Structure 1
Amino acid sequence: MFHSKLSTKQFNWDSLVLAAAAFWLSVSLFLDFLLMPMMYGTGMMEEPGFASAGYGLFWTFNRVELLCAACILTGLLALRQRQSEFSVLVSGSRSRWAMLIGSGLLAIALVYTYLLTPQMSALGLQLSAAAEPVPAAMNLMHSVYWALEMLKLTAAAGLLKLCYGDVASEFQDIAQG
């Protein structure tokens, strides 16, 4: 008889964390390194309605980031309660790193959603209304955004590394078992 470690009633939190982190990482990379450079290169950022369109894009994406961060942190907390021998949260050090990364990702998503995006959009709307040079505050916010973005991408990749081995070992055991 086929017996697996995962019963049909037990949710696979490792896979949820892995999927949410992979999705978030891939969409962030797409937005940062394909969509935004393309929009800049084609001159769309100089169009009068770009600031409001950009705000709509980032408003939506920030909510997706909050959902991903919430799924990741929820999954990590659930894994902490259900410690299996293959879970990322069995090792004390790995557990602390995973929880720190999950909390950090949520904090970054909150900063984007409630601080940076509204402030950058407000400055962008002012710039659209008057043909003025970019204020120092906008340059500072872009610097903060990119610093947080690099931290987020590194943290999400680290979380993927922590979780992938656990998920792979569970599926390997299921296949052998």
Structure 2
Amino acid sequence: MTAASTQLKRPLWQTLVMLTLGFWLSGSLILEWVIMPSLYLSGMMTQAGFATAGYLIFWNFNRIELLSAAVVLTGVLVLVSTNFAATNWRRGAVVLSLLLLAVSLIDTYFLTPQMCATGLQLNLFESVAEIPATMNQLHAGYWLLEAVKLVAGGTLIGWCWQHQG
């Protein structure tokens, strides 16, 4: 019984990385596949206050993403420094965690402010006729980065799950 319970133990940082990634990626999926489509289908994107509301939602979520990316990177660096697994896993895990941090930095400091500025209605007397072409390009970049985040985060969770401490 003691041998079985010893085999199931994982390093604390490995568990923290997996829990943080699970929280972060599930939050992203809920935001992107439940909250934003609901707002879009309800017609909120055509209202004048949508850019402000979107900025408030994403401002908060982007800060959570930055914190999550920092915890994941820190956890991976700790696991690498403690000789947690094979060398090829170490390099890949560090690269993926740096990629996750880069995605969250780009989302926080470039894409979100740009999308909100593009969607901001400055003339109160004009109605919103259509979404600007620039917004569609920014959305495409955002979705590409989200796909990268989900693939990198999912791969990192898989690697952490496979490598017992």
Equivalent residue in structure 2 for 1:105, among 100, 107, 111: 100
Q: Is the 8 A contact 1:72 1:102 kept in 2?
A: yes
Paired-residue identity, %: 44
Q: Does 1:58 align with 2:58?
A: yes
- What are the superposed Cα offsets for residues 39-77 of structure 1, whole Å, 9 maximum, x if unpaired? 111112222211101100000000000000000000011
- Counterpart amino acid of residue 154 in structure 1: V
Instruction: State the alpha-carbon separation in 2 of the partners of residues 128 and 15 from structure 1.
Output: 51
TM-score for the superposition, normalised by structure 2: 0.88
Aligned residue runs from structure 1 range 78-117, under 5 A: 78-83=78-83, 87=84, 90-117=85-112
Superposition deviation, residue 126 in structure 1: 3.0
Superposition deviation, residue 157 in structure 1: 0.6
Provide structure 1 residue ranges, at least 5 long, that are not aligned to the other structure: 6-10, 171-177
Q: Secondary structure at the match of 2:121?
A: helix
Superposition deviation, residue 100 in structure 1: 0.7
Superposition deviation, residue 16 in structure 1: 0.8
Instruction: State the alpha-carbon separation in 2 of the partners of residues 123 and 14 from structure 1.
Output: 40
Q: Compute the RMSD of aligned alpha carbons.
A: 2.2
User: How many pairs were matched up?
Assistant: 159
Q: Which residue of 2 aligns with 1:28?
A: 28
Equivalent residue in structure 1 for 2:117, among 113, 122, 126: 122
Instruction: State the alpha-carbon separation in 2 of the partners of residues 145 and 124 from structure 1.
Output: 15
Q: Is the 8 A contact 1:101 1:159 kept in 2?
A: yes
TM-score for the superposition, normalised by structure 1: 0.82
Provide structure 2 residue ranges, at least 5 long, that are not aligned to the other structure: none
